[in-house]
Amino acid sequence: MEGKMPLIGDRFPEVQVQTTHGPMKLPNDMAGKWFILFSHPADFTPVCTTEFVAFQNRYEEFKKLNCELIGLSIDQVFSHIKWVEWIKDKLNVNIQFPIIADSGELANTLGLIHPSKGKNTVRAVFFVDPNGIIRAIVYYPQELGRNFDEFLRMLKGLQTADAQKVAIPANWPNNELIGDKVIIPPPTDIKAAEYKKAKYQNFDWWFLYRDLNAKDE
């Protein structure tokens, strides 16, 4: 993966990093778990502070979904530790997930450095599955804080799609057309089209859907 920014479907690059919880090897130390790695421009900045509080407030929800959180910026570990202490002292929020102190090597590998923004990392988010495969990538500009409820929705959607072999509609589970139902993969021949249209709720043979907990035969 050297010289190439990883894409969805690639294995997360194997790296050893220093964090506020000690050294880690990624993705190996997270084998069997999902993890979300998210970068922030810098410690002791207001938008980033609101983001870390938002992630921590949802940390238990992520853990219930077998998912760990890992922060990252190009700051020294001493800066991370002091910032975490500040958040606890001033905002009464204890940041419990690790933060990577990156030299810039991992940030460059993941494409987190925007040429017009100096050496600060952009607000990127990588969803990595229990096999170490990158499943989703989201990038935000530095001036826009992220929506952390959306990351929970994305994680639940990815896990549901994997477990039930379905696709997830827009704004799920509150889709404007089919509510909390999920989409059946479209048929690939005429016989399957006729069979699936008779079996599933649908708008047509190519737009089939079912209840989330319904069992396929």
Q: List the catalytic residues.
A: 48
Q: Quick check: bond before 13 cis, omega within 30?
A: no
| Dihedral over alpha carbons 186, 188, 192, 197 (to 10 degrees) | 30
Query: Which residues, 6+ apart, have CB-to-CB distance to 103 below 8 Å?
Result: 74
| Dihedral over alpha carbons 183, 150, 213, 175 (to 10 degrees) | -50
Q: Quick check: bond before 6 cis, omega within 30?
A: no
How buried is residue 116: exposed, middle or buried, by Cβ count under 10 Å (0-12/13-18/19+)? exposed
Alpha carbon distance 101, 90 (integer Å): 22
Is the CB of residue 155 less than 8 Å from the CB of residue 34? yes
Among residues 104, 138, 129, 105, the alpha carbon closest in space to that of 118 is found at 104
First-to-last alpha carbon distance for the chain, in angstroms, is: 40
Is the CB of residue 134 less than 8 Å from the CB of residue 9? yes
